[in-house]
Amino acid sequence: MYRGMARAIAPDTFETHDFSSWSDLAIASGEPAIHSISLRIRVPEIIILALYNEVPRKEVVFSRRNIYKRDRFTCQYCGEQPGSEELTIDHILPRSVGGRSTWENCVLACVDCNRHKANRTPDGAGMRLLKPPVRPPWTPFLSLKLGIRKASWERFVSERYWDIELQA
C-alpha cells in the first residue's frame, strides 16, 4: 500500500483507501494494528492489488487426499461412493507392468472393482473408466484454509459461490 501497488478496502463500507487515507482511519480498541516509530495503522482485512504480473502458477500436490478430492470420493469404475475406508487407489496401468503413480494413471476404485480388475488394465478386465483421470488445476482458492476466512471476505471469495451445484 505504501508504494501505491495496493489499496485497502474498509470492511464495513467497502470504500477503497490508499495508504494516506487508510492511515487516517481510527483504530478501535482491540483491533489489530501495525506499529512503527511514528505511525500506528489498522491491519487491513481486504486488499486489492493495483499492480501485479499474475497469480503465481502452482501445482496441486499428488497426494492421497487430493486424489480423493479430485475423484469426489467416488469409484471411477462403478460410480459408487462407499466411504473412504472402502475406496482404494488403483493404478490404471498396473505398477507390475511399468505403471507409475501419476495423476493420469491413478484413480479411486471401490474394493470390489479393484479386486475384479486385479493386476490388469481396465480393458483386460472388461471394465471402463467413468472419465479419464487428469491433473487437477491449481486455483488460489485451494490455498485458503478453512477457519481463517473473515466475514468481510464473503463478498469477494464466497464459499457458497464455489460450492453450489450447477444445473445441467
In tens, the pLDDT along 98-141 reads: 999 999 999 999 999 999 999 999 999 999 999 999 999 877 65
Q: Which pLDDT does position 56 carry in this prediction?
A: 66
- 42 and 7, same domain (yes or no): yes
- Answer yes or no: are the C-beta atoms of 77 and 117 closer than 8 Å: yes
Which of 101, 103, 94 has its CA nearest to residue 67? Answer: 103
- 75 and 49, same domain (yes or no): no
Identify the domain containing residue 22 by its residue range. 1-57
Percent of the chain predicted with pLDDT > 70: 85
Q: Is the pLDDT of residue 49 over 90?
A: no
Number of structural domains in the chain: 2
DSSP at 120? S
Measured over the CA atoms of residue 142, residue 144, residue 147 and residue 151, the dihedral's sign is negative
- 44 and 71, same domain (yes or no): no
Q: Which pLDDT does position 40 carry in this prediction?
A: 87
Kindly state whether residue 155 falls inside one of the protein's structural domains.
Answer: no
Q: Which pLDDT does position 109 carry in this prediction?
A: 98
Q: Is the pLDDT of residue 42 over 50?
A: yes
- 51 and 68, same domain (yes or no): no
Please report, for residues 103, 104, 117, the alpha-carbon distance to residue 131 in angstroms, rounded to integers and kept in the order given: 13, 11, 16
Q: Which amino acid is at 111?
A: V
Residue 166 C-alpha from the chain's centroid: 18
Q: Which pLDDT does position 168 carry in this prediction?
A: 42
Instruction: Determine how many CB atoms are found less than 10 A away from the CB of residue 44.
Output: 20
| pTM (2 d.p.) | 0.57
